[in-house]
Structure 1
Amino acid sequence: MKRTALSLALLALAGLSGCASTSQPGAAPAATAQTAPDDGIGAEERISFFVNDARSGHLEQVVAALDRGVPVDSVDAVDQTALLAAASKNQFEIAKLLLERGANPEYRDPAGWTPLIHATYFGSSLELISLLVEKGANVNTQNDRGVTALYLAAAGGHEAYVQHLLKLGADPKLSTTAGYTPLRVAQANGLTRIVALLESGATPATSTH
């Protein structure tokens, strides 16, 4: 799900544009444990390699780092965990491994963005979104501006994501700090199919998370 002109305009309307700027993929150093020398690496650098390997899909290097004792929820210099980085880049197998190793699916970056919110914003697969919820992510978690995964999907005009998140128990009535619900944004922008989905899901199924 790419950030289209429509989605950026809607985010700006709700006062949200740029709110993920501290957590954009690729912001961390480009080196990985695959190419870095093993000797003389400090703890912070080793964590950066670990998070970058998760982001880049280097499964063997992620396993090796965990086996060497790198904590699964280590936070790098741009406040990302390996799970958050993997979720934002649609690295399903790595996200699955990290969750199996005890990664926190509700980690919040400084702007309050969780792996689920990142996965939705950056267009990761519905399968990965389901995995996060199955492993404990709260589908209705709001970031520091009140944004949920469902809000981002509705604001971007992404019908499949809206439908999937509703099935997972997302609440279409939750509003941002600017007072916008997913339904209100969809109505204001003439997204009739999404409006219909949100109206039919106005009383969401009870989430177990």
Structure 2
Amino acid sequence: VLHTAALTGFIYGIKTSLKRGAKVNEKNYGGQTPLHLAESKEICEILLDNGALLEVRDCISGDTPFLRAVQCKICTIVNFLLERGAEVNTKNDRRETALHIVVNDLEKVKTILDHGGEVNVKDIEGDTPLHVFISHGFDSECIELLLKRQAGVNIKNNAGLTPLHLAVLNNRT
């Protein structure tokens, strides 16, 4: 019930479930807690105030609630979780950080960088966030933000390609 209430934004259901003893960190079939599924800042706040853990990982990809929020939700939730202590450079099972998995969203990229997101960390493929941004055709503003934070244009991934190679290969020069 608590997972469904978090996913649907049913605040009364969340509060009632918690009063009746629902476990705030109970995992569903995918290893996700209600905080992984929370769809608003208010729901996140209620769950955290009732003991929800920020760094618990799901069974699907090793994502924390913060990493899931980066992929799926509005920037206010991402910022809120960071303010409440989420680790900005935490990695999932593929060694991806928030900057590797963020959608093409300038506001989220700024938020992650402003909270200390590392620009030259490599994932399991050896890709840095700059490799990913260029490969996925992110807006030039997002790419420029990484470059201003000293993202390495000559760092090679496991295939021996630099972000510059990828820019040329993908006609993004």
Q: TM-score scaled to structure 2, two decimals?
A: 0.79
Match of 2:149 in 1: 201
**Conservation of the 8 A alpha-carbon contact between 1:171 and 1:202:** no
**Count of matched residue positions in the alignment of Structure 1 and Structure 2:** 149
Percent identity for Structure 1 against Structure 2: 32
Alignment of structure 1 residues 53-64 onto 2, 5 Å: 53-64=5-16
Gaps of 5+ in 1: 1-48, 204-209
Aligned mate of 1:120, from 70, 78, 99: 70
Distance 1:189 1:61 in 2: 39
Match of 1:108 in 2: 57
Query: What SS does the corresponding residue of 1:174 show, helix, strand or coil?
Result: coil
Match of 1:65 in 2: 17
| Cα RMSD, aligned residues only | 1.7
**Conservation of the 8 A alpha-carbon contact between 2:25 and 2:52:** yes
Q: TM-score scaled to structure 1, two decimals?
A: 0.66
**Conservation of the 8 A alpha-carbon contact between 1:106 and 1:136:** no
Distance 1:189 1:78 in 2: 27
The alignment status of 1:131 with 2:80, answered yes or no, reads yes
Distance 1:70 1:95 in 2: 16
What amino acid is aligned across from residue 202 of structure 1 in structure 2? Answer: Q
Please state how far the C-alpha of 1:202 moved relative to its aligned partner: 3.2
What amino acid is aligned across from residue 167 of structure 1 in structure 2? Answer: D
Distance 1:60 1:178 in 2: 44
What amino acid is aligned across from residue 11 of structure 2 in structure 1? Answer: L
Match of 1:182 in 2: 129
**Conservation of the 8 A alpha-carbon contact between 2:5 and 2:13:** yes
The alignment status of 1:163 with 2:110, answered yes or no, reads yes
**Conservation of the 8 A alpha-carbon contact between 1:55 and 1:91:** no
What amino acid is aligned across from residue 83 of structure 1 in structure 2? Answer: L
Query: What SS does the corresponding residue of 1:51 show, helix, strand or coil?
Result: helix
Query: What SS does the corresponding residue of 1:99 show, helix, strand or coil?
Result: helix
Distance 1:84 1:187 in 2: 28
Q: Deviations over 1:176-198 (max 9, x none)?
A: 10111111222445643222100
Q: Deviations over 1:44-81 (max 9, x none)?
A: xxxxx111111111111111111111121011223211
**Conservation of the 8 A alpha-carbon contact between 1:120 and 1:149:** yes
Gaps of 5+ in 2: 152-173
**Conservation of the 8 A alpha-carbon contact between 1:151 and 1:182:** yes
- Bigger relative contact order (CA 8 A; separation at least 6): 1
